[in-house]
Structure 1
Amino acid sequence: MEKGTKMSHEFLYEVDYIHIGPQNEPSQICDCDWESNFQSPVHIRNEVPVVVRREYYHQTPDIPHRQLDINALIIVRHGRGTRVVNGYSHSLARGDIFLMAQENVHTFEAPSHLYLDVYYFHQSVFTGSEWKALREFPILDSFLTPGVEAFEARGNTDYFGHLSSEPHSSVERNFDEVRRGFGGGNAALQFEVRNRLFHELVGLSIWRAGGHLSTRPARSAPIADVIRFCENNFQKDLKVEHLAAMMHVSVAHFREVFAREVGVPPASYLRRLRLLRAKTLLVDPRLSVAQIARDSGFDGTTQFGRAFKKAFGVGPMQYRKNPKAAP
């Protein structure tokens, strides 16, 4: 339910849509279609059916929605909670991405200061040839196929992947630019929003295919908290003992649970965060390699250089001279 537009007081971010309690019974499924939810006096929005908005949930009762003819690209900006789709749960962490196809039922359980950046789009937003191009990516073809059977074929999930802090910051900036240009009734800007959505879908698919997205959702809230902590503190000397203590489990059990739910051991996950940070810093010629190693969480330039070359096939200085040399 909408309450105001681009409100910033008492919020961490400007928000366009605040979800509050339902007018009907929380257990009753609310059917949502494009015409009822997104038609607007702004004529061009009906010609280019894409809506961009930042949504806010906090202690909102579960409100199941069936998206009849609405697709959505959902990016978690901040907060916590659990996303439930067709009865299957996924805990939320900053940087999580969900790609929701139409004809599925979803809700958010126990949201706490949850901010979502969302692109809603109707099937007609793209031409037939554009849809054909998108579906050349097998992962998009799978995720954008509507219905419960397609959802089951994907392993009962619409979780597209997790962005670590560096790529997530890039996606956030893109969303902020798109959001600023949306909603003014300018036809050219509305078409630009549509084009940016197309490019975002393609870009995320390429990142996923290249292994730059973690594709195993953190299904338990404690693991999501650990991931969030790692992404905010990876430059520090984090010990696995400390991370295990956050979950109140033994180190051995923590390693097992983390590897099972995230897909890699804790040390590998932290190393990846540090290397991605270092890649970003290396493009700034004012920073020395020693400073970059230190700011990214490495003990020294030797350790950093070996890890960087093992991960990307070139050393830090080679990458600085030619960033295209590394994937």
Structure 2
Amino acid sequence: MQSSLFEDVDYIHSDPYSDLETVSECHWQYCFGRHRVASKEFPLHQRRERYHQISAIPHIHHDFIAIYFVRAGRGTRIVNGYAHSMARGDVFLMAPSTIHCFHASRNLTVDALYFQQRLWSEREWEILLALPDLAAYLSPGGDAFAARGHTDHFGHLSPESHVRVEATLAEMRRELNTEQLTHHLAARARLFTLLVQLADWRQDKAFCMRPARGSGIAEVLAFCEDNFHRGIRNQQLAELMHFSEAHFREVFTQ
């Protein structure tokens, strides 16, 4: 019997083409803006996504922010050339103008939230970004990405915290599936609260700051085989296993 963690999937990813060097361009209007009338006024979209044995085709999100909550499965997410393994409970905050792809996914299921900056007023953003971690992770551009350690992995939820997050996501899902603007306004408020909660957990060190597991050596070898034509750094391979570069060299040469 299939676990309930894999149920209610809205989107099963399929490769748009086979060219691993071409970056797939993602704009809000094309990806989400045509789905509902309410999204024009409240640019917020939620869906449960599944990735399984797909090609590592890079995507760039030009004009919207993404939050990914890993629900089940495993895989590796490569962001601006830097790899991070994925496990249930991981949270990723992806700023605009970021390139990412999923690699070696095995029944990887994520709860994704997508939204544009115009979801809130300038003053609301000013208040939200007064939280230092959110300001760092939601800032676009290469310099901002480097400043946060070449990652958009925000934290790892405890089982208790994950239950709370999933309850919030379930309410948002119900609200966004209606065409009533009052419910979309309620979902917007829940997202604001959720971001504040995530920032508080991070500040209070309530997160486990790394995934539950790193990639195994077999997954690293598979990554090398799939990306032999690219410039791969030892640091990238070490990060897949959550090893220091020196420790990775020692393990890899054995």
Q: TM-score, normalised by structure 1?
A: 0.63
Bigger CA radius of gyration = 1
Partners of 1:214 and 1:103 lie apart in 2 by 27
The structure richer in helix per residue is 1
Change (3 A) 1:50 1:22: same
Does 1:188 pair with 2:182?
A: yes
2:77 corresponds to 1:75: no
The structure 2 residue matched to 1:168, chosen from 153, 158, 162, is: 162
Cα distance in 1 between the residues matched to 2:4 and 2:14: 16
Pair 1:105-2:125 in alignment: no
1:149 aligns with 2:143: yes
Tell which has more relative contact order, 1 or 2 (C-alpha 8 A, sep 6+): 2
Overall identity of the aligned pairs, in %:
42
Residue 116 of structure 1 and its aligned partner are, at CA, apart by 0.3
Q: 1:138 aligns with which of 132, 135, 156?
A: 132
Question: Residue type of the partner of 2:118?
Answer: S
What is the DSSP-based 3-state SS (H/G/I as helix, E as strand, rest coil) of the residue aligned with 1:179?
A: helix
Cα deviation code 1:31-83 (max 9, x no counterpart):
11111111125221111001011001111111210111110111000000001
Deviations 1:247-296 (A, max 9, x none): xxxxxxxxxx9898xxxxxxxxxxxxxxxxxxxxxxxxxxxxxxxxxxxx
Deviation at 1:12, TM superposition (A): 2.6
Identify if the C-alpha distance between structure 1 residues 69 and 219 changes in structure 2 by more than 3 Å, giving closer, same or farther: farther
Report the counterpart of residue 20 of structure 2 in structure 1.
26
| Alignment-derived partner of residue 198 in structure 1 | 192
1:221 is paired with a residue whose SS is coil
- Alpha-carbon RMSD across the aligned residues, in angstroms, is 2.3
The unaligned stretches of length 5 or more in structure 2 are 218-240, 245-254
Report the Cα distance in structure 2 between the residues aligned to 1:123 and 1:158, rounded to whole angstroms. Answer: 18
Could you tell me how far apart the structure 2 residues matched to 1:143 and 1:258 are? Answer: 21
Seen in structure 2, the aligned counterparts of structure 1 residues 153 and 217 have a Cα distance that, compared at 3 Å, is farther
Q: Which residue of 1 aligns with 2:56?
A: 62
TM-score by length of 2: 0.81
Runs (4+) off by over 3 Å: 8-11, 216-219, 257-260
CA distance in 1: counterparts of 2:99 and 2:5, whole angstroms: 28
Q: In structure 2, how many angstroms separate the alpha carbons of the residues matched to 1:12 and 1:203?
A: 25
**Higher strand proportion (structure 1 or 2):** 2
Find the aligned partners of 1:197 and 1:101 in 2 and give their Cα distance.
16
Aligned residue identity for 1:139: D
1:17 is matched with: 11
1:37 to 7, 31, 34: 31
